[in-house]
Structure 1
């Protein structure tokens, strides 16, 4: 009888122990599930917040503007110095300048980066600095959709990065740490790529590109002036010759036309002179 009681007691204790272990395992599983649900819910909230924040960018369009102007200038050096100064005063800068002289002309290609809110004013200054504007073109590329998408993806990746860092702090096994480190490195690389693209779009949309094709016509003008001077000199020379010929013609006309009168005058003068001389000889 004692053996039976002892056996029943052992069975009861074993059952209690199994029940406690099962309850402990189930409790641990429930805790883990609750933690995972909280993490998932937090991740969803962060994603929603990221999308909400990114949607605010749609109110401000992100457009890349490029202006192309072809113009003629009197002096390339003076024009570039003037425009560089103007660009700097408006918060812009020059990023490229290439000039080539051919056949007495200077062809130059110059690129400026100008804040978008100063773009139209700078274009007007380019026109004022030019002798004549041959062509003008403005193009724009809307980057708003990509910019919003990049910011949304960046917020999501940053949320994933934060969760991975928390998992790394609580991880105990080496293999878990290695796996989390690999995932974290991949996420951080994607974050840097997204940030680089966002920065590029911000720079390209905050600053407009102004591409100038300039032709210096100073040497051509000097040649024209010299040519005009020679033409005027030649014209004046021909005019002088004309007047000389005309004066000589008038002299010839005057002499030949009045030749009978001249001859008569000479004959009269001769007789008068001869008579006067004879009287003078008799007196002596």
Structure 2
């Protein structure tokens, strides 16, 4: 009886393993590492793509049109704003993000030079709830002059459906394997079931991490803001410019005269020497 049960249990395990492997094989293993959650990856969303398209162009997933599916988008904003004081501007933006239910991811401020003039410049990256990001951008725009802004929205609905479906299948498979484990009687069968459970739970952990990452990126928009100050403008009076140019011209003339004297001085010395010698010889002859 035990042998018969053991054979049945192993058969069920093999069938379960085949089902899970076929369902999850298209998902890339690289997503198991936490660093991979920092970018939206391109991979085979075969589960989500194997849906039937109706005549209207919408896909039929589980008997429902994707027109009724909540679209999942990741919003990213990059903008530059010019304010009178960069440090105060970054501080205000940070407080506005917190007031909107978000948080500051990072910020920095540093000196910026334009010739001999110095001003402040900085960056601040904030995460705000998707529902608040439009009003947040409007409030930021009131702090100064927005010189550039770009908004991108990445649709990850297909990936989200695919990951969710795979995760649901794996969780059901885990439950069935747990039931089988409770029914096994031999050490060999227990080890076989536990090994399969460990594999399934590893995939569940991987997909859960990916889903949590997508949820975070979907629920909170990422907004990167460069904060600058106006470039210093140096205005000078006409009289001062004229005096400055006159002084510079006089100095240039003196420099040119010194250079000319340097070239002529050896010639003058030679002329004086030979002229004096000739005069001396002429006087000697007359005597």
Give me the whole-angstrom Cα distance separating, in 2, the residues matched to 1:195 and 1:203. 12
Instruction: Give a deviation string over 1:157-183, Cα, whole Å, max 9, x none.
Output: 001100111111110110110111100
List structure 1 segments (4+ residues) > 4 angstroms apart after TM superposition. Answer: 51-58, 232-235
Aligned partners of 1:150 and 1:89: how far apart in 2?
33
Structure 2: how far apart are the matches of 1:82 and 1:184? 51
Aligned pairs for 1:260-275 (under 5 A) are none
Q: How many residues align?
A: 189
Q: Which residue in 2 is equivalent to 1:62?
A: 72
Aligned equivalent of 2:211, options 198, 201, 220? 198
Is 1:158 the counterpart of 2:171? The answer is yes
1:195 partner SS: helix
Q: Does 1:231 align with 2:237?
A: yes
**Helix, strand or coil: the match of 1:129?**
coil
Could you tell me how far 1:214 is from its partner in structure 2? 1.5
Mapped contact 2:123–2:224 kept (Cα < 8 A): yes
CA distance in 1, matches of 2:66, 2:218: 17
| Number of the residue aligned with 1:121 | 135
Gaps (5+ residues) in structure 2? 24-60, 242-287
Which residue in the other structure is 1:107 paired with?
Answer: 121
Q: Determine if contact 1:116/1:208 at 8 Å carries over to the other structure.
A: yes
Match of residue 100, structure 2, among 90, 95, 104? 90
Structure 1 residue 231: Cα displacement: 3.5
Change (3 A) 1:140 1:77: same
Q: Is the 8 A contact 1:54 1:152 kept in 2?
A: no
Query: What secondary structure, in the 3-state scheme, does the structure 2 residue paired with 1:74 have?
Result: coil
Structure 2 residue aligned with 1:20: none
For residue 211 of structure 1, the aligned residue among 190, 215, 224 is 224
- TM-score normalised by structure 2 residue count: 0.58
Deviations 1:202-222 (A, max 9, x none): 0000010111112123xx45x
Seen in structure 2, the aligned counterparts of structure 1 residues 65 and 151 have a Cα distance that, compared at 3 Å, is same
Q: Report the secondary structure of 1:61's partner residue.
A: coil
Aligned CA-pair RMSD: 3.4
CA distance in 2, matches of 1:134, 1:233: 36
Counterpart-to-counterpart distance in 1, 2:219 and 2:67: 14
Partner of 1:172, secondary structure, is coil
State the Cα distance separating 1:144 from its structure 2 match.
Answer: 0.5
Aligned equivalents of 1:212, 1:55: Cα separation in 2:
38
> Alpha carbons of 1:184 and 1:125: their partners in 2 closer, same or farther (altered >3 Å)?
same
Q: Which has the larger radius of gyration?
A: 1
State the secondary structure of the residue aligned to 2:185.
coil
Q: Which runs of 5+ in 1 are unaligned?
A: 1-23, 236-284
